[in-house]
Amino acid sequence: MPARLAASFSVSKNDMKSFIRDFHSEMARGLAGRSSSLKMIPTYVDRPTGKEKGTFLALDLGGTNFRILMLKLDGRGGAKVIKAEKFVLDKKVITGPGKAFFDFIASCIGSFLGSNTGGHLDMGFTFSFAVEQTGVASGTLSHWTKGFSAAGVLGKDVVMLLYEAMLRKGIRNVSIKALANDTVGTLVSRAYADPACDMGVILGTGTNACYSEYLSNVPKWRGTDTPGGRMIINTEWGNFNKVKRTYYDKAVDRISDNRGQQIMEKMVSGMYLGEIVRLVCGALISDNRLFGGRRTPVFFEAQGFRSEYVSRIERDRTRDLSDVGSMLKELGVTGSTVPDRILVLEVCRLVSLRASRISAAAIAAVITRMDGALSRRHTVAMDGSVYEKHPNFAGHIRTALNELFGIKARRIKISLTKDGSGKGAAIIASVAASSNI
């Protein structure tokens, strides 16, 4: 491993401390409504008390597979899924007219409800796209992501579009009480049973985080107060740009479809980790340091090397890295030597370790924004494939937090909260239904 390459991806303890200072500054600017890479969007909803009770619907829309759930909250922190169904949006729907897009979703709601059209139901709507929230149950789409391009939706209130579609389908017994993204849903889902949960994080294909903030610390807020004086803030931290980038990060940004945006996301999320590894390995091949200089398409075509390969490579515990060799052969790389495999493994470790330490610094920044002295317990609700499936990511985050906070790091608990966005949407609906925001 070339020393200069290793040094360029290194994130020291001092680097993390500098990151935290810059992150705090951007948070403050965003909360004040000033120019910032962190949008710090008020979500119009607070954490649940755990006493919310009743039956609620949840629509969890974050990709081509979406879910509808019916949950029963027992008022004691327990949430039981009464019914859940998964639906698939095909390419024609997600790239066609917006009216047809929402009509399809409404028809799925109708199918889910079946004959249950009499009793009134409140629903939470998790919509995991770029939305400028304008109320607890309203928000306008600023841009599509994830291959979606339904026409006529940009700049429109997505809740109103869904309401109109439900009316066209004859669904009149459902009220959309809350709009949220998946990060907020994840926080709320965990917080319903764990009062110490005050932060939600997604580390998957993309990345984002939200946390609980005192409204007195949000100068740009012009609405009414919440009963507890707090509100969940959606940081949109994937766009944080005060972070040291390598040549390879800049190359990833140049060939992306959102150049100059989502800078931190392009360094830590599953959409980009494999691409960084691909570019580094491609450079090593071009310098005759890897595979004897033999070029293979997987390392020279955009998106040729997927992030799941990084996890698979780092799981290999064989002496000669035979699993890595087998995978490389599947990808068209024949005749790899043990030194070749070691170097590929080292590149993967370098990229994923940096990603985990940046993620840890971001978590630390948000926690210390809430509690600078770490004087109380904090639970971080975590979801996402990178955190869950990469063999070392969670451990590296814990190690970095220990470096930053020593024994006090024990006060930060990270809890994997799988599929929390769906349950969270229903719980948010219950919170919003009893709120005056």
Instruction: Tally Cβ neighbours within 10 Å of residue 298.
Output: 18
CA dist., res. 372 & res. 364, Å (int)? 10
Q: Rounded to 5 degrees, what angle do the CA atoms 415, 131, 431 make? A: 55
CA separation (Å) from 239 to 113, 236, 381? 38, 6, 20
Taking each helix axis as running N to C, give the angle between helix 393-405 and helix 13-31, from 0 to 180 degrees, rounded to the nearest 10. 90
Which strand (E) or helix (H) includes residue 279? helix 273-286
Q: How many CA atoms lie within 13 A of 44 on its CB side?
A: 22
Give me the sheet containing 378-383, strands edge to edge: 41-42, 230-234, 207-214, 197-203, 378-383, 412-416
Active-site pick, 39, 72, 99, 146? 146
Contact present, 236 and 417 (Cβ < 8 Å): no
Please give the structure tokens belonging to residue 302: 């955009």
- Residue 92: active-site member: no
Active-site pick, 122, 182, 253, 383? 182
- Residue 182: active-site member: yes
CA dist., res. 350 & res. 359, Å (int)? 14
Coil, helix or strand at residue 81: strand
Q: Which residues are catalytic?
A: 146, 182
